[in-house]
């Protein structure tokens, strides 16, 4: 199997399409994981605080 990375005159269109898609996925993955981590930690912190204040 051989790969063709020489896009010739289409390079100006091909590589931006792949780069923008890769960046979009990287952003979606990072923002989703960070959002989940932030709210999980916040819920755990508040849960611990509530348990500490209850007799």
Number of neighbours of residue 14 by Cβ within 10 angstroms: 13
Residues 6+ apart with CB under 8 A from 14: 7
Contact between 30 and another protein per CB under 8 A: no
Question: At its nearest, how many Å lie between another protein and the CB of residue 15?
Answer: 9
Site for another protein contains 25 (CB under 8 A): yes
CA dihedral sign, ordered 36, 38, 41, 45:
negative
Could you list the residues that contact another protein (CB under 8 A)? 1-11, 13-14, 16-18, 20-21, 24-25, 27-29, 32-33, 35-36, 38-40, 42-43, 46-47, 49-50, 53-54
């Amino acid at each position: 199997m051989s790969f063709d990375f020489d896009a010739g005159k289409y390079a100006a269109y091909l590589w931006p399409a792949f780069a923008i898609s890769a960046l979009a996925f990287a952003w979606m993955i990072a923002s989703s994981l960070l959002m989940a981590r932030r709210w999980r930690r916040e819920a755990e912190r508040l849960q611990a605080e509530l348990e500490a204040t209850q007799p």
